[in-house]
């Protein structure tokens, strides 16, 4: 630029005029191109705190607060002191001052600072919406900046660059494909695993930020449309067809064999857990399935890869509950039942047989097979006895009297009382098993595969498209 200006000054006045017009047009074109690029970058509304009564916020360089509906300036905070915002029946309260607002407030940082929500830093702006005396905190942020806070939450920044870039493209595509998932609730996606894990500035890292910047604007498409780029931790040996997990056929979410995880030893490649009957009953009750006891749990359908599609739970009075395995995992806890690739075994749970009461008297039995004959009856026999036989008869023990059984009713312990039922799950992999296997991508990257090859392996028939 300095050389260009020096050249411009050395030119004759007439020539300098035409060159100034030319340079002006270059700057205008450059500005328009960059303006279009900025406008083309999607902006996300990310639900970071939902349905809370109060929240603490602050700006590390101060903040400004406006009413959403009217745009009126409600508050200016020039320092980094925290503000407590509390939901009220007709609006909200900032510290001790109440504001009537039917929609809520918008908060922007002063200068180039960050906003903090409950101690976590976020880029962009915030909206706090009021609904039924509850608050929803929404982070308004550009897609690329949003991805900075996603990648480290999803995978390790120490992984190979190609695996990080594959994850960046998958996460970007997933966000675009799910823009309307929660739109009726005032935001696009949430900050949990129901969408993608998002941790704001606190979870940014130079390596993952570089992967986002290296792939800026690149998404995975199928027939020109962004794909639903679902992903999971570890497929356990093969990924799954979409219809065998969620019931809907998706052409690019096809089952593929994946042994690449074995190369990098994922921490939960093989796992087991045990659940008691009461733990399962409690979880079922929390989700509207009432059972008094469990007689049996068994596997229903299975997929061609060996994953469990459904689980049957047989309860009291012949009641049966059938759950899709992914629903069962979410109900029990995906950190316990880590995938649908498992088998089950049960311990206990049978009905105990009746046992006699310990203080019940036994029936006495004779010590010999046949009862002894009475001596008097033997002497009545019409035959002669020797002296030795007579002595032996006189020395025989008397007949032991029988002890009659008492007419007491039998008392049974544990009658019809179930023993402790425990279900043991032994499985492989982590997650739903559809789409990109993150540990599989790590293994492929270690073998030298590019991010494009990784994505096209796990998402069949796709293309990579730069949209901005």
**How far apart, in Å, are the Cα atoms of 58 and each of 61, 94, 136?**
9, 12, 16
Least confident residue range of 18-22, 212-216, 221-225, 337-341? 18-22
CA distance linking residue 124 with residue 200, whole number of Å: 10
pLDDT surpasses 90 at 105:
yes
Mean pLDDT for 201-206 is: 96
| Average confidence (pLDDT) over 174-180 | 96
So what's the pLDDT on residue 12? Answer: 63
The token pair at 171 is 């996460």
pTM: 0.77
User: Which of the pair, 27 or 459, is modelled with greater confidence?
Assistant: 459
Query: Cβ neighbours of residue 43 under 8 Å, at least 6 residues apart?
Result: 140, 141, 142, 143
pLDDT of residue 355: 37
Q: Which two tokens stand for residue 83?
A: 């503000």
3-state class of 329 per DSSP? helix
**First and final C-alpha spacing in the chain:** 27
Q: With contact defined as beta carbons under 8 Å apart, do 141 and 165 qualify?
A: no
**Extents of the domains making up the chain:** 43-142, 270-351+418-428
**Regarding beta strands 120-122 and 125-131, do their DSSP bridges make them parallel or antiparallel, or are they unpaired?**
unpaired
**For the chain, percent of residues with pLDDT exceeding 90:** 71
Helix axes 161-177, 143-154, angle to 10 degrees: 120
3-state SS string for 224-240: CEECCCCEECECCCECC
Measured CA to CA in angstroms, residue 388 lies from 30, 163, 376 at distances of: 138, 106, 17
Supply the mean pLDDT for the chain: 85
**Confidence (pLDDT) at 414:** 33
Query: pLDDT per residue over 276-300, tens digit each?
Result: 999 999 999 999 999 999 988 999 9
pLDDT at residue 324 greater than cutoff 70: yes
Range in 101-105, 269-273, 448-452 the model is least confident about: 101-105
Tokens 């019931």 belong to which residue? 247
In angstroms, the CA 87 to CA 79 distance is 23
> Residue 410 pLDDT more than 60?
no
Asked if residue 327 has pLDDT above 80, the reply is yes
List CB contacts of 308: < 8 A, sequence separation 6 or more.
Answer: 299, 300, 301, 302, 325, 340, 341, 342
Alpha carbons 444 and 423: distance in angstroms, whole number: 36
Q: What is the token pair recorded at 185?
A: 């609730």
Task: Write down the pLDDT at residue 365.
Answer: 38
């Amino acid at each position: 630029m300095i050389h260009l200006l020096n050249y411009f000054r050395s030119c004759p006045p007439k020539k300098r005029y035409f060159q100034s017009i030319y340079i002006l047009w270059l700057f205008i074109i450059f500005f328009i191109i960059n303006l279009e690029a900025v406008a083309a970058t999607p902006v996300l509304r990310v639900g970071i705190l939902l349905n809370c009564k109060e929240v603490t916020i602050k700006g590390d360089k101060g903040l400004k607060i406006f009413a959403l509906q009217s745009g009126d300036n409600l508050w200016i905070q020039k320092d980094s002191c925290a503000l407590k915002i509390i939901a009220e029946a007709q609006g909200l309260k900032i510290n001790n001052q109440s504001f009537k607002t039917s929609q809520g407030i918008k908060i922007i940082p002063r200068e180039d600072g960050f906003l903090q929500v409950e101690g976590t830093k976020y880029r962009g702006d915030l909206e706090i919406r009021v609904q039924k005396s509850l608050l929803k905190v929404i982070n308004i942020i550009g897609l690329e900046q949003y991805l900075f806070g996603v990648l480290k939450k999803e995978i390790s920044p120490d992984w190979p660059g190609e695996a990080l870039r594959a994850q960046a493209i998958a996460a970007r595509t997933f966000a675009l494909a799910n823009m309307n998932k929660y739109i009726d609730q005032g935001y696009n996606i949430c900050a949990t695993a129901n969408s993608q894990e998002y941790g704001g500035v606190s979870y940014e890292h130079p390596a993952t930020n570089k992967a986002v910047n290296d792939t800026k604007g690149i998404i995975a498409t199928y027939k020109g449309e962004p794909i639903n780029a679902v992903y999971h931790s570890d497929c356990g040996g093969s990924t799954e067809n979409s219809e065998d997990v969620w019931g809907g056929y998706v052409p690019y979410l096809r089952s593929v064999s994946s042994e690449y995880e074995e190369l990098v030893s994922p921490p939960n490649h093989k796992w087991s857990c045990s659940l008691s009957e009461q733990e399962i009953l409690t979880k079922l009750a929390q989700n509207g399935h009432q059972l008094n006891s469990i007689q049996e749990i068994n596997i229903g359908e299975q997929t061609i890869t060996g994953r469990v599609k459904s689980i049957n739970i047989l309860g009291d009075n012949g009641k049966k509950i059938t759950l899709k395995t992914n629903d069962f995992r979410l109900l029990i806890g995906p950190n316990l039942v880590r995938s649908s690739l498992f088998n089950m075994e049960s311990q206990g749970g049978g009905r105990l047989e009746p046992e006699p009461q310990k203080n019940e008297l036994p029936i006495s039995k004779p010590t010999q097979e046949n009862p002894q004959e009475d001596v008097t009856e033997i002497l009545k026999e019409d035959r002669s006895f020797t002296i030795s036989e007579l002595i032996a008869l006189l020395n025989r023990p008397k007949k032991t009297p029988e002890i009659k059984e008492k007419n007491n009713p039998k008392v049974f312990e544990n009658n019809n009382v179930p023993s402790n039922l425990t279900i043991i799950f032994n499985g492989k992999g982590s997650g739903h098993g559809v789409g990109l296997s993150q540990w599989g991508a790590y293994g492929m990257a270690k073998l030298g595969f590019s991010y494009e090859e990784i994505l096209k392996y796990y998402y069949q028939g796709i293309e990579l498209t730069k949209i901005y």
